[in-house]
Amino acid sequence: MKLHRNLVFATIDSLHEIFNEDKQADKVLRNTLKRDKRWGARDRSFIAETTYDIVRWKRLYAEIADVKAPFSRPNLFRLFTVWATLNGIKIPDWPQFEDTPTRRIKGRFDEAIKTRAIRESIPDWLDTLGEKELGKLWDKELAALNNQAEVILRANPLQTTVRELQNALSDLDIETITLKGYPYALQLKERANVFTSEAFQKGWFEVQDASSQRVAAVLDPQPGMRIVDACAGAGGKSLHIASLMENKGQVVSMDIYQNKLNELKRRARRNGIHNIETRLIDSTKVIKKMIGKADKVLIDAPCSGLGVLKRNPDTKWKMQPDFLEKIKETQRELLNSYSRMVKEGGQLVYATCSILPSENNKQVADFLSREEGADFTLVSEEKLLAHKTGFDGFYIALLQRK
């Protein structure tokens, strides 16, 4: 592979914003990729994948390059050199790459990988926590979460079938495979920009990980029900729920951020979905009005996001121990408050994209032992671990109200 100066510089600029200015990787890359209209799909792919790779392996590469944050521009080029050398890419004869110890990189790599936290590139406190919560499973899970995420689509049954979507994509030379146990899922054989396709514009599919698709399946929404998606965000799961309800009944999608609900409305229009009503949670009244009125409630709770490190590797560098404690308190409060919206005989699904028992089954057990959860019983729970499924880490609990 021959390195091109403008692509390498764009990657270095992106890393500077992510590491030194604490910006979110996906937002940084969105802006970077708009910089030059002449860049083709391969150029954009190089910038995005190289940037994510260096973010994912920051600690390991910094150890090998012998640099420390905040990273100066020469230091960022040293990190890039480590990435290139370990990937068998020849370093070009540019001034930025002078004095880079390419010969020492392999030896330093062999030494660095003896320590798990460095080898798997994760902060010490998070490594300790993962081992404490998951025991021997942590080694396998951590390694799995450092793999690049697969691109999974979810066909929209209101507009198409999985077979029809598969054929439409195949006509664009985008090959996919179906996934057993995931009736609406298609996995891309190779990464491709699916958002420019006519099928996407027509609302035939959304991009949604297979584990995330399990949430609506467990909720089992039926046409004519009233279902609340209490932490809807931009609405990936609301759209899935509405499509399974065949546009009949009502999905009340709630969130504390209006901009996310606006995005959900836009997506719903493209999907041909018109049974979603958005509600901004700007006071406790919004919840009080819904007490005892929902057939089913989904609490897709805010969490550490450790189950989705494959697609958001910068999370591990931005998270702090005190955030984890705060988020667990938020989960507790949401279970107490939002569970009240479930009518008698109705159901509640509590889900997170975390792999930590303290955010998952322990949080549910704790809720059931409290006065607020006295009316509920646990029907089922799924602990989806990345090393077992190959997809995102997720937790999904189904609770029944008496």
Work out the average pLDDT over 380-387.
Answer: 98
The predicted model scores a pTM of: 0.95
On whether the 5-121 domain is CATH 3.10.620, my answer is no
pLDDT digits (tens, 9 = 90+) for 242-296: 999 999 999 999 999 999 999 999 999 999 999 999 999 999 999 999 999 999 9
Per residue in 317-371, pLDDT (tens digit) is 999 999 999 999 999 999 999 999 999 999 999 999 999 999 999 999 999 999 9
Backbone angles phi, psi at 326, to 5 degrees: -65, -40
Of the candidates 286, 272, 210, the one whose C-alpha atom is nearest the C-alpha of residue 242 is 272
Would you tell me which CATH number, out of the four given (3.40.50.1000, 3.40.50.1110, 3.10.20.310, 3.30.70.1170), belongs to the domain 152-207?
Answer: 3.30.70.1170
Domain spans in the chain, listed from the N-terminal domain onward: 5-121, 152-207, 218-401
Residue 123: closest CA among 107, 142, 104: 142
pLDDT at 103 over 90: no
List the structure tokens of 346.
């109705």
pLDDT tens digits for range 181-236: 999 999 999 999 999 999 999 999 999 999 999 999 999 999 999 999 999 999 99
Q: Any catalytic annotation for residue 353? A: yes
Q: Which of 353, 384, 397, 399 is catalytic?
A: 353
β pairing state of 226-229 and 250-255: parallel
CATH architecture of 218-401: 3-Layer(aba) Sandwich (3.40)
Rounded to an integer, the average pLDDT of 95-113 is 87
String of DSSP letters for 96-138:
GGTT--HHHHHHHHHHHTTSHHHHTT--HHHHHHHHHHHTTHH
| Mean pLDDT, the chain, whole residue set | 96
Q: What is the mean pLDDT of residues 169-184?
A: 97
Q: What is the pLDDT of residues 149-159, one digit of tens each?
A: 999 999 999 99
The CA–CA distances, whole Å, from 140 to 55, 120, 146 equal 20, 11, 10
CA atoms within 13 A on the CB side of 250: 11
Share of the chain above pLDDT 70, in %: 100
pLDDT at 1: 87
Residue 98 has pLDDT above 90, yes or no: no
Asked whether 116 and 139 are in contact (CB, 8 A), the reply is yes
- Note the pLDDT of residue 100: 73
Output 122-129 pairs: Cβ under 8 A, ≥24 positions apart: 122/59, 122/316, 123/59, 123/316, 123/317, 125/321, 126/316, 126/319, 129/321, 129/324, 129/356
Q: What are phi and psi of 195, to 5 degrees?
A: -75, -15
Evaluate whether 5-121 and 218-401 have a shared fold: no
E strands, 276-358, are 276-280, 294-300, 342-352
